[in-house]
Amino acid sequence: MDISAFKDRLTTQALSEGFSKLRICAPDAVPAVAARLKEFLALGRHGQMGWMADREDWRGNPAALWPQAQSVIMLAETYTPDGDPMAGLAMPDRGVVSVYAQGKDYHDLVKRRLKRLGRWMMAEAASIGPQPQIKVFVDTAPVMEKPLAQAAGLGWQGKHTNLLAQDLGSWFFLGAIFTTLDLPKDAPETSHCGSCRACLDACPTKAFPAPYQLDARRCISYLTIEHKGPVEEGLRGLMGNRIYGCDDCLAVCPWNKFAAAARDIGYQPKVGLPELAELAALDDAAFRARFAGSPIKRIGRDRMVRNVLYAIGNSGNSGLVATARAHVDDPDPAVADAARWAVDRLRQ
Ligand code: B12
Ligand code: SF4
Ligand code: SF4
């Protein structure tokens, strides 16, 4: 079998595994990103995510991460919501959890699927030459998945910086397989944003200093998931009732009308729109039980209750003052601070 026929079979196998799209680029296909990453870090836009700077050399240069790799296989996995992900923003007594965290943890689902595809590759590659090597990545490795996916032609980085595609919309995760196999490469994609700026205008915290650039320090996704300690007071009021992640810039994208449906039932919503009062009452054990198997578990009880207290402060519901007051002496300083802020704000 020749290598092109192998690539066709690989693509068919990826789709039958449940991925929505596969495209391939060379590891050195993103020469511009090292300088852009350097600038992002120099401006401090990564905030407390110090791990982004730790492996800057690998992150900015995928060819240096694994010099033997000849190809990067980029895969899309859709998690498109059925309903309107913004509907919960009009229910101030409830917490809005981003679509990506409504079901099972995508790290587990995507990684499992990548490993299955990798095993298939290893078994089938025997027919085309010496045994290749592979490494699979999703999210947590020092790999810039979005520029690689654009170089592979999977989609383009929109003005909101996420990858979108004409046939997939915005709601998909990325996964990568690096391999020593020299597979045929696809053509890169170019931006189809045109004059649209819906995502830039929708951002509640004005987190985009310019189109195609994000200052993570202002992004609600960063503030609710990654940021430790108290959030800057000027931003709290802009977070509304978003208690884990944020979808606004993705949700308003006009390309979503072509979004492909989620293919894994693991992404079906389990969390829904929980009541703020219920979440505020969770202790460590109850938090872990409530969010077992969900990516939400990662942030721990304290950060979740901190987020919930900001949402209570923003609710305008004086009936929640007692719920907030119950936390003013919480052992976690950020929770106690959020509780005092919420009480003051509800009293005003
Ligand atoms: C750190 C991180 C975050 C941070 C910072 C996000 C960011 N934009 O950098 C925070 C916590 C804020 C975050 C939030 C979210 N994230 Co996130 N995140 C990552 C992670 C781990 C690294 C991203 C990174 O390298 N950032 C560094 C910056 C410098 O790189 P960049 O975003 O590519 O920025 C480029 C542009 O600024 C560009 N640039 C500058 N000027 C110009 C000009 C032009 C014309 C162009 C084209 C480009 C350009 O240069 C940079 C390099 O190319 C990736 C996983 C991974 N390993 O790649 C997931 C990832 C990007 N996240 C993901 C998701 C789903 C989200 C959220 C939607 C989750 C949510 N709903 O809350 C939000 C979206 C917020 C947003 N608008 O970006 C998915 C995105 C999937 C997709 N289709 O793109 C990823 C790929 C995880 C995955 N494996 O699926 N995330
Ligand atoms: S995720 Fe929300 S806060 Fe972050 S850039 Fe998008 S709209 Fe703004
Ligand atoms: S909302 Fe508009 S500008 Fe933003 S990514 Fe979608 S098409 Fe591009």
List, in sequence order, every residue forming a beta bridge with 25; answer none if it has no partner.
72
Does the pLDDT at position 196 exceed 80? yes
Q: Whose CA is nearest to atom 5 of ligand 3?
A: 158
- pLDDT tens digit string along 149-166? 999 999 999 999 999 999
For residue 168 and ligand 1, the question of a CB distance below 6 A is answered with no
The predicted pLDDT at position 133 comes to 96
Provide the 10 A C-beta neighbour count for residue 235: 18
Average pLDDT over residues 238-242: 98
Tokens of 346: 């509800």
pLDDT tier for residue 130 given thresholds of 50, 70 and 90: confident
What does pLDDT average to over the chain?
96
What is the 220 CA–ligand 1 centroid distance (Å)?
A: 13
138 in Cβ contact with 111 (< 8 Å):
yes
Average pLDDT over residues 78-106: 96
pTM value surpassing 0.75: yes
Q: Distance between CA 15 and CA 344 in Å, rounded? A: 53
Catalytic residue, chosen from 93, 139, 330, 332, is 139
- pLDDT tens digit string along 297-328? 999 999 999 999 999 999 999 999 999 999 99
The more confident residue out of 254 and 129 is: 254
Q: Which CB contacts under 8 angstroms, 24+ apart, belong to 289-293?
A: 293/104, 293/105, 293/108
Q: Whose CA is nearest to atom 45 of ligand 1?
A: 212
Average pLDDT over residues 240-260: 97
What is the 333 CA–ligand 2 centroid distance (Å)?
A: 26
pLDDT tier for residue 242 given thresholds of 50, 70 and 90: very high
For residue 75 and ligand 2, the question of a CB distance below 6 A is answered with no
- 83 CB-contact burial (10 Å; exposed 0-12 / middle 13-18 / buried 19+): exposed
Average pLDDT over residues 22-46: 97
- 94 CB-contact burial (10 Å; exposed 0-12 / middle 13-18 / buried 19+): buried
Is 248 among the catalytic positions? no
For residue 162 and ligand 2, the question of a CB distance below 6 A is answered with no
Average pLDDT over residues 171-178: 98
Q: Whose CA is nearest to atom 4 of ligand 2?
A: 219
Q: Distance between CA 52 and CA 204 in Å, rounded? A: 25
What is the 188 CA–ligand 2 centroid distance (Å)?
A: 26
Helix (H) or strand (E) holding 175: strand 172-179
Does the pLDDT at position 126 exceed 90? no
Residue 76 CA: nearest ligand 1 atom is 83
Cα three-residue angle 130-135-136, rounded to 5 degrees = 135
The predicted pLDDT at position 260 comes to 86
Residue 197 CA: nearest ligand 3 atom is 3
Average pLDDT over residues 12-37: 97
pLDDT tier for residue 128 given thresholds of 50, 70 and 90: confident
Interaxial angle between packed helices 106-124 and 3-17, expressed in degrees from 0 to 180 and rounded to the nearest 10: 150
Q: Whose CA is nearest to atom 8 of ligand 3?
A: 193
For a substitution probing ligand 2, which of 220, 242, 247, 253 has the most ligand atoms within 8 Å of its CB? Answer: 220
What is the 206 CA–ligand 3 centroid distance (Å)?
A: 15
Does the pLDDT at position 1 exceed 80? no
The predicted pLDDT at position 127 comes to 83
For residue 291 and ligand 1, the question of a CB distance below 6 A is answered with no
For residue 221 and ligand 2, the question of a CB distance below 6 A is answered with yes
- 84 CB-contact burial (10 Å; exposed 0-12 / middle 13-18 / buried 19+): exposed
